[in-house]
Structure 1
Amino acid sequence: MTAETVADVFIIESLRVNDEIEQRYEGRRLADILRMAGKNPKYFYFQEKKELPHILQIFKESKYRFLHFSCHATLSRIITTRDFYTYPEFAQELKGVLKLRRAFFSACELGNQLFSTCLAGTNKGMHSITAPAEEIRFDHAAAIWSSLYVSIFTSGKNNVTHGDVVKRLKMLGTLFPVDLHFSGYDARNDSWEHSKIHKSSIAVPGPAKGNLV
């Protein structure tokens, strides 16, 4: 992975119109924080399905190791500003672009085995998929993802393992009331392993009250 990819984050974002009005650009803010950390993230915003293939081609050519996708979602759909994808449709759109990459999705409820199975099925050779397993607030999302990436890059490790990601997700689960889902490819057994990382009792309990991704 290290020899063929660049240790940086490629951010793609698509939100609802009211989110645009309220300036809830979690992905854009993440890019700013990563620049403060000395990285060179790439950020693209889109509204319609027809725009995404071009952005994905730029991502593929960039060789960036981490794809961060910020959007709204449900247990069956990925939602853009003007359109939506079913899980299989989205997996086909991203077919072949995630080899040797790790994908992180900042989207409500997208952390589930069905989504991971669909995406992994069209992307042989990708390493992992991470996403919230429940609804997540914009402020929590911004804090979780920026902390995760900055921690990974600060570690100085050139080869990030599944364990490195999961360890950090568990720590973040003690700070924020969000269940997360991690799917990782096991090359030894040529199979995918799925795990739900539950928020800790230390995290603030109760329903989400802020604006939701």
Structure 2
Amino acid sequence: MAATLPKLFIIESLDVEDEAHHREGEIISSVLRMTGHEPIYRYVRTKAELSHFVKEFRRSRYRWLHLSVHGNHDLIALTLDRLNAEQFAAIVGPALADGRRLFLSTCKAATVELAAGIFRRGGCLSVAGPVNSIRFGDSAIFWATFYHLMLKQKGRRMLGTKVEKVIATMGAAVGRQFRLIKPDADGEAVERLLPEQLPKQAGKKKK
């Protein structure tokens, strides 16, 4: 297998009413292009389209997959379809082999159970996403800044300690806690919450 490329592939799917004004993935793609990077951005509405572009991600040899979707515990919501954690892992997991990472911009869906299903299907290094609901603006600012800071590094390597530090710093900045899940030596999914404590904030949230 050829080495992966230190680049970001973005897949987004929103409710119909959110498509016009809340395309976070498109914002992230634009920010990264402004700073000289080459992200790939795809918008999907169905399970079939998700499967198609996940396969494109695998063929692209891009190393990091960012999914911007609505969700909840055991649910990934596309514009027209709904997937439970097992269905989602079956589509995404095999494409995350070879030391790739998955970043989930979706409320509450980045669970240990979902990550465990992904880890069983390939060599994914980690799954990260917000623990609870998050406002659209906070989410866009968090992820755009996270990728900007990570990709500024020499060689564009996402070392585990650096990922944890930046997630904790940016999570505190937007007032939201994030879950970082990695497989242990036995392949079991183990979570870490970053940062540990946050004040409550109110505002428009992703559903």
TM bin, normalised by shorter chain, reads: over 0.9
Match of 2:62 in 1: 64
Cα distance between partner residues in 1 of 2:146 and 2:79: 26
1:177 partner letter:
G
Greater displacement, 45-54 / 33-42: 45-54
Alpha-carbon deviation of 1:53? 1.7
1:17 partner letter:
V
Match of 1:82 in 2: 80
Cα distance between partner residues in 1 of 2:89 and 2:194: 23
Question: Which of residues 192, 204, 207 is equivalent to 1:210?
Answer: 204
Greater helix fraction, Structure 1 or Structure 2: 2
Match of 1:198 in 2: 195
SS in 1 for 2:203: coil
Match of 2:27 in 1: 29
Cα distance between partner residues in 2 of 1:82 and 1:130: 24
SS in 2 for 1:173: helix
Question: Which of residues 43, 68, 89 is equivalent to 2:41?
Answer: 43
Greater displacement, 171-180 / 62-71: 171-180
Q: What are the Cα deviations for residues 118-146 of structure 1, in whole angstroms up to 9, with x where unaligned?
A: 22222x21111101000011101101111
1:135 partner letter:
S
Q: What are the Cα deviations for residues 18-46 of structure 1, in whole angstroms up to 9, with x where unaligned?
A: 1014x210000000001011100000001
Match of 1:120 in 2: 119
RMSD (CA atoms) = 1.8
- Does the 8 Å CA contact 1:177/1:200 hold for their aligned counterparts? no
Q: What are the Cα deviations for residues 131-181 of structure 1, in whole angstroms up to 9, with x where unaligned?
A: 100001110110111111110111224432211100101111221111100
The alignment's TM-score, normalised by the length of structure 2, stands at: 0.92
2:132 partner letter:
E
How many percent of aligned residue pairs carry the same amino acid?
A: 29
Match of 1:7 in 2: 6
Unaligned runs of 5+ in 2: none
Q: What are the Cα deviations for residues 63-88 of structure 1, in whole angstroms up to 9, with x where unaligned?
A: 11110000000011000001100000
Alpha-carbon deviation of 1:57? 1.3
SS in 2 for 1:4: coil
Match of 1:159 in 2: 157
Match of 1:94 in 2: 92
Alpha-carbon deviation of 1:200? 4.8
- Does the 8 Å CA contact 2:150/2:157 hold for their aligned counterparts? no
Matched residues, number: 206
The alignment's TM-score, normalised by the length of structure 1, stands at: 0.90
SS in 2 for 1:82: coil
Cα distance between partner residues in 1 of 2:175 and 2:76: 22
User: Are 1:130 and 2:134 counterparts?
Assistant: no
SS in 2 for 1:104: strand
